[in-house]
Structure 1
Amino acid sequence: MSKPQVLICGTIVHAHDELKNDLGSIAEILHLDTPSRAEFFQACSSGGKYANITAIYRHNDSVDKVGFFDAELINALPESLKSICHNGAGYDQIDVHAAKARGITVSHTPAAVDDATADTAMFLVLSSLRQYYRAEVNARLGKFKAGLKPAHDPENKTLGIIGMGGIGSALAKRAAAFDMKIIYHNRNPNPNADPSYTYISSQQELLSQSDVVSLNLPLNKDTEKSFGKTQFDQMKTGAILVNTARGGVVDEEALIDALNSGKLSSAGLDVYPAEPKIDERLIKMDQCILLPHMGTETVETQKKMEVQVFGSIKTAIQTGKPSFIVKEHK
């Protein structure tokens, strides 16, 4: 009996042995080699080389060859396909509703990214409070402390976390080690949250209490630009925004206005609406800490993500459904 076919849409960087020896032991591995979207569609059609695939491993770097997994692409996939297993916690590049309509189940990698993304968020919290970017620029220019003003300690500051899932929980643990007070807002209290964290049922109330606000929520039609002028107006004057979620959840014009007016004293950003482009106005603000989407840029985490996706595909082959199914498909 022939093995089920799995298409790798993306570059495997670290887990080559796991791909060959684990997933490869139960599946025939195909690698995306169509250089354009049109040729991909052709390969997925009847008689094409991808016509019998049952699962896809997807990474965002496949966009360069086939584009987003939008409704057009989803509807061009072969009838044999049952699972799209995405390497990443965020899956806004996949039209999960179109996939569901086709009977295709989408999975992602939520747990694998928690620690590395939380480390990045904590760095942004500390750097924004202490204004380490300005200090580093001074050091590199030979100015030492000239012109630098005392910044702020994290101790006893209130960190408001919007979205107390895996990443939010990991960030809370790190911030608590710096003696920050942790408050959070979810649709419902997290039953696994540490008893020392305070659940705030009103986002407006959380914003009014927080010295630093961290965004840890997915990007979808409900959250796109959901954090804008109204929310900035509800924050303390001089507060800080940290975003390691998705750039699209923030109204960037409103963010820039809040920084220019002094409503926000700083922002720590790892994500942007039009990546890889970063708005020049943000680049010129030396009170902002800007990273180029470094949340999961570690060898250990990227390998963990690759292996987790292989596991999801293996589960899909064995049971008909992958592990870590996105919430829209549960």
Structure 2
Amino acid sequence: MGDVLLIGDLKFVDPEWSSLSSEPGVSALHEYRTGSRDDFLSKLSSGTYGNIVALYRSNDSTKVTGPFDEELISKLPSSLRYICHSGAGYDNIDVAAATRRGIQVSSTPQAVDNATADTAVLCMLGALRLANVGMDILRRGRWGQEPLPTAHDPQGKVLGILGMGSIGRNFAAKARAFGMTIQYHNRSRLAPEAEEGARYVSFEELLRTSDVLSLNLNLSKATEHIIGKDQLAMMKKGVTIVNTARGKLMDEAALVEALNDGDRIWSVGLDVFEEEPKVHPGLIDNPRVFLLPHIGTLTFETRRAMEMLVIDNIKSALTTGKLITRVKEQDNMDGAK
């Protein structure tokens, strides 16, 4: 038996959260919906949550407690065995630190696949068609007075996907409907049935031969600024770049410089940024950059599915000792139970 702690707010599954109190293995529910990092750390030090076995957190709850870095994880009670996170990305959790303490971590990958891939399609089409330019002319009442840009179709283009996980594969399936050819690069090649005809290429070949390059990989120390000045210089002339994963995968200053330096980059479609909500002014000011304010999973259907998957992970953990969607890093880390 143990307690379960909610950190941050819920929007769609308050009844399901409350019903956890009657689940086997749950002795009490606790909530820390608002507060501060200092206050939360103080509560941890005082033993307020000394009997929790599982906790619910999200990317949004980082505003309440700050990141689950090594400092915070070191102060979590020894009873804690599961961190159940709402979000496909979990770069604000130090998974290695959690693993060293025998704490399993889950995320919500499948729940976000459609919405994030749909957003990638939106960013790709908006960027290829230079939609920003036309919308600006329309809104300023200059339609018919200023020239509209002649842009590009997706048909016949080579889509290169960096990070062919579940979101990348979902995006690939949607892009095929537009008549695009798919190639990808991962640390390791997928099984043939998962490729569905996509071509596996090296990182350098992906950069040099893709008409559209989409970033669909997790952020980590190894992938931060995986696209920088050198990589941008390798890209095919006229490339369109799409990023719906994490802003820090790209060096924004280098991207702005490349956009301003010539015609190598046709356009860019971004839903994520290095220092959200701050956006590099060179991106805002450039009409060839199609911008969205990180709305990738911001639909009623997807947010509810994410919250429900966290609840289901908690239930599974407490009844079977296993998480449904444990993060992959823990498969190869000692200490995860």
Question: Scaled by the length of structure 1, what TM-score is found?
Answer: 0.95
Separation in structure 2 between the aligned mates of residue 51 and residue 33 of structure 1, nearest angstrom: 18
Matched AA of 1:227? I
1:320 equivalent in structure 2: 321
Cα distance change of structure 1 residues 131 and 329 upon mapping to structure 2, 3 Å threshold: same
Structural mapping, 1:1-330, within 5 Å: 4-21=2-19, 23-26=20-23, 27=26, 28-32=28-32, 35-45=35-45, 48-145=47-144, 146-191=146-191, 192-200=193-201, 202-261=202-261, 262-330=263-331
Structure 2 alignment gaps of length 5 or more: 332-337
Contact 2:130–2:149 (8 Å) recurs in 1: no
Q: Displacement, 1:63?
A: 2.2
Deviations 1:152-187 (A, max 9, x none): 111101111111111100101111101111111112
RMSD: 1.4
Look up the SS of the partner of 1:258 in the other structure.
helix
Look up the SS of the partner of 1:267 in the other structure.
strand
Contact 2:8–2:34 (8 Å) recurs in 1: no
Separation in structure 2 between the aligned mates of residue 36 and residue 239 of structure 1, nearest angstrom: 43
Matched AA of 2:176? A
Look up the SS of the partner of 1:61 in the other structure.
coil
Contact 1:159–1:211 (8 Å) recurs in 2: yes
Separation in structure 2 between the aligned mates of residue 168 and residue 271 of structure 1, nearest angstrom: 16
Matched AA of 2:276? E
Q: Displacement, 1:33?
A: 5.2
Separation in structure 2 between the aligned mates of residue 223 and residue 110 of structure 1, nearest angstrom: 18
Look up the SS of the partner of 1:207 in the other structure.
helix
Q: Displacement, 1:34?
A: 6.4
Contact 2:52–2:79 (8 Å) recurs in 1: yes
Deviations 1:252-299 (A, max 9, x none): 111111111132111101111111111111100111001111110000
Matched AA of 2:179? D
Q: Displacement, 1:82?
A: 0.6
Q: Displacement, 1:96?
A: 0.8
Separation in structure 2 between the aligned mates of residue 55 and residue 82 of structure 1, nearest angstrom: 6
Comparing 319-328 with 73-82, greater Cα deviation is found at 319-328
Structure 1 alignment gaps of length 5 or more: none
Q: Displacement, 1:149?
A: 2.3
Look up the SS of the partner of 2:267 in the other structure.
strand
Matched AA of 2:89? G
Q: After TM superposition, which residue ranges in structure 1, 4 or more long, deviate above 4 angstroms?
A: none
Separation in structure 1 between the aligned mates of residue 164 and residue 55 of structure 2, nearest angstrom: 30
Contact 1:43–1:51 (8 Å) recurs in 2: no
Contact 1:90–1:219 (8 Å) recurs in 2: yes
Separation in structure 1 between the aligned mates of residue 222 and residue 249 of structure 2, nearest angstrom: 9
Q: Displacement, 1:84?
A: 0.5
Contact 2:242–2:269 (8 Å) recurs in 1: yes
Cα distance change of structure 1 residues 33 and 151 upon mapping to structure 2, 3 Å threshold: closer
2:334 equivalent in structure 1: none
Cα distance change of structure 1 residues 134 and 318 upon mapping to structure 2, 3 Å threshold: same
Comparing 37-46 with 63-72, greater Cα deviation is found at 37-46
- Report % sequence identity: 48
Q: Displacement, 1:62?
A: 2.0
Look up the SS of the partner of 1:160 in the other structure.
strand
